[in-house]
Structure 1
């Protein structure tokens, strides 16, 4: 591998947190006690934590300084106005409603913009997003391009919406029965795949033709902008901020989990241009989150978010962030490990179907693979397959996604390349004895979002 392609960390380490490595026997007991669910392992028992990049970021010295400037007034916090000005400038939307995290924004949007029986087309589902859509009577329809469901196909912009699929949905059900188009940038469940600016522009044109609103899931919009700059013609000389601003010009609003590209540990927001929707959202945020000027966040968190959002637009930061993920992916590919290709912006996804060909999907191969990776190495990852997909709310039958994966999710500004080497070595060692990985069955299955708290036992 050409190591010149991977820049050193564009930061200096100022504080450290000590971690420990348990013995294999200790980890065997820990994973059994956790019901083979990596979400139920205590943080202190994890060596390298790749469970998620949500809220696990390291904040900068300027963000920590901003924490000390928190205005904790119940109404009219000056930190809200700083956040509002920042989002309006960088994203270009007229209104912002702060929430405690991204799913708070999803809850508000789903309540104000979905009528029971309406369809919500999107470029592949995300767990909490689809839950809120279905809970409010919406019917999710996947309109992502077919290539996104093929783990081995290495093509750019696998997150694009298939315009023909979207057109068919409109023709079959009528534009009035489309609540809105939910366009994720990037597409988490497809492996962190980006959406091209060309596709956003085309989706916007089609939606305008029928008067349908578009709301972005903007959670990893900065990562998406990096891929556009790197891979799409005409954007190499654009700044990340310029690309992000153009991206959102093709949307009517967005939901945002600030716990990712805003480089903070908590928080989110809902954006929109429509005045009437804004008034409805403000009414609901009071009921579910808090005053419209804090919405579930402390003033200090809003200040850190405003600062972090600007920091995330710095090219040196986002280049290192994406290429560190790619470094892990390239190491695994060279060792013959089956992963989703191309490598996305926030995680490397192990292809559990090819990693564990001896297990069928109903034996939860991705869930078992994640559990066994922890047993092998103390590295915590998470399942993204049939368990995450859940059940059809009408039939009660399992959804069967084509992608059955384990997500190795890299927190921002937390780990070094050497940590990535350790993770790669652990995966390779496990792959050599993959035939020993046993299937799982449910011991406890929650009715909603089961992957968070379900428990399993080995078959």
Structure 2
């Protein structure tokens, strides 16, 4: 059917706050042109992230009420552990309070000066935790993924020939891990093919380098494989996910994405020696090994959500909803990442605002314009988030200048999405009047969260 129908009924609602364009201009000015600093109550449609913003199901809320809050060995942990083992096949499961906590533990142990972590594309917290350890991250996105307006089935793939080359240049002994992000968040929410995962795994095995999956959106990626990759149309999403994980040595996950949970994450792996080190650090920084910084009720909600997310009626609705907004913007001539990704619509800010140079952050300028015009909060994924400085403090820009409209799971209806399209089109029609921004204050790592900016005069 052409009409997208949500595979659920709404049982509980919360109000949206409305304000005027003039009020939003003042709010953004006080927030130093950084929507991260805007209060949620001042946002009409919040597309800042799909992380922890999902609507949980009635079954998940029932699980919350059943949560066992025992400090050690709670019933919720064993339900959680079994669910993760059943989905991933990994024998060791370590809960953490969210994905970046899993990354912090993993890279604190494996990282350090002179080491390199390779990925199709690292997202912001992953790269920050790598760099905080003293190591460096290398992105090896496939060529198709570097061209937003050119459709291709698996633009999240890793460049396998580049992977072989970098291993030869850096030395396998200096590469503690290769990480495949599925779907590729920084690369436009684009999926990774099973063939690409299989090939990357084989290269890693040949050089004895651990191969991990950043599994935040494993179900969405598995559904794309079912839709787009030959030989998988008749396979179920759980079967595809099981094969995907079978090529890896472990995974990190933020359960705030494809588990519908508002908090939580985990590490899962095969190596008992590495797991022992991770658990020791977990106890110091997160909590005991059977709760990892989470309440027992959260473990229950995650276990239930991990099963719900693989329902194909839900995944069809999820992917089609993102495609719906993408197609509306394409029809209006707006440059977006094509084809539609799994969890978000990505606008090519460089093409949208060609008159704003990269060192004036066109993505952030567009993010601000969308908030002022319609109260929509989004996030820049470009040179504010990923740009670096050279020895002369000149900006080394990111690979692409995108803004992400991340769609929270089971939260907004089609009319909300139609409103988003209307606002983006309004801004596009007056884009020549927009100005760039300059940074007035920033931190060394993850500066986009707290940076202060002002318009270029």
Bin for the TM-score computed over the shorter chain: over 0.9
**Structure 2 vs 1, CA of residues 222 and 392 (structure 1 numbering), >3 Å: closer, same or farther?**
farther
2:182 is aligned to 185
- Per the TM alignment, residue 125 of structure 1 is displaced from its structure 2 partner at its CA by 2.4
Q: 2:257 aligns with which of 256, 260, 264?
A: 260
Q: State the shift of 1:392 in Å.
A: 5.4
1:383 to 374, 380, 383: 380
Match of 1:277 in 2: 274
Distance in 2 between the 1:200 and 1:49 partners?
A: 33
Name 2:293's counterpart in structure 1.
296
Q: Secondary structure at the match of 1:341?
A: coil
CA deviations on 1:185-231 (whole Å, 9 max, x unpaired) are: 01101100110001111111111111111011101111100100000
Task: Look up the SS of the partner of 1:238 in the other structure.
Answer: coil
Name the SS for the 1:414 alignment partner.
coil
Q: 1:157 aligns with which of 154, 163, 166?
A: 154
User: How does the TM-score come out when normalised to structure 2?
Assistant: 0.98
The correspondence for 1:358, drawn from 355, 358, 376, is 355
Which residue in 2 is equivalent to 1:310?
307
Secondary structure class of the residue paired with 2:268? strand
Gapped regions of structure 1 (runs ≥ 5): none
| Residue 331 (str. 1) matches residue 306 (str. 2) | no
SS of the aligned residue for 2:438 comes to strand
Instruction: Provide the residue aligned with 1:419 in structure 2.
Output: 416
Secondary structure of residue in 2 paired with 1:190: coil
Structure 2, unmatched stretches of 5+, are none
Partner of 2:388: helix, strand, or coil? coil
Describe the SS at the equivalent of 1:188. coil
Pairwise CA distance, 1:390: 4.0
Taking the aligned partners of 2:371 and 2:415, their CA distance within structure 1 comes to 18
Deviations along 1:24-72, whole A, 9 cap, x unmatched? 1111111111111111111111111111000000000000000001111
Cα offset for 1:116?
2.6
225-234 or 166-175, which deviates more:
166-175
State how 1:47-446 maps to structure 2 within 5 Å. Answer: 47-391=44-388, 398-446=395-443
Kindly indicate whether residue 29 of structure 2 is the aligned counterpart of residue 38 of structure 1: no
Q: 1:449 aligns with which of 428, 443, 446?
A: 446
Number of matched pairs: 456
* CA offsets 1:2-38 (integer angstroms, 9 cap, x no match): xx34530000000110112201111111111111111
Once the 2 structures are TM-superposed, how far is the Cα of residue 124 of structure 1 from its aligned partner?
1.6
Q: Where do 4+ consecutive residues of structure 1 move more than 3 Å?
A: 392-399
TM-score, L = length of structure 1? 0.97
Give, in whole Å, the separation in 2 of the partners of 1:44 and 1:269. Answer: 31
| 1:173 CA drift (Å) | 2.2
Q: Deviations over 1:151-194 (max 9, x none)?
A: 11211111111111011112122211111101100110110011
Structure 2: distance between partners of 1:450 and 1:137: 18
Shift of 1:412: 0.2
For residues 242 and 443 of structure 1, the distance between their equivalents in structure 2, rounded to whole angstroms, comes to 50
Aligned partners of 1:395, 1:149: CA distance in 2, in Å?
A: 27
CA distance in 2, matches of 1:211, 1:149: 29
**Change in CA separation of 1:395 and 1:167 when aligned onto 2, cut-off 3 Å:** farther
- Note the C-alpha offset of 1:398: 3.5
Contact 1:346/1:409 (8 A) holds in 2: yes
After superposition, the C-alpha distances for 1:258-300 in whole angstroms (9 at most, x for unaligned) are 0000111000001110010110010000111111111111000
Change (3 A) 1:50 1:426: same
1:104/1:378 CA distance change after superposition, 3 Å: same
Question: Contact (CA 8 Å) 1:6, 1:327: kept in 2 or not?
Answer: no
Contact map agreement 1:99 1:297 (CA 8 A) in 2: yes
Secondary structure at the counterpart of residue 156 of structure 1: coil
Range with greater deviation from structure 2 (419-428 or 129-138): 129-138
The superposition leaves residues 212-260 of structure 1 with CA deviations (integer Å, 9 ceiling, x where unpaired) of: 1101110111110010000001111111111111100010001100000
1:220–1:29: structure 2 CA closer, same or farther, 3 Å change rule?
Answer: same
Quick one: distance in 1 between partners of 2:211 and 2:234?
27
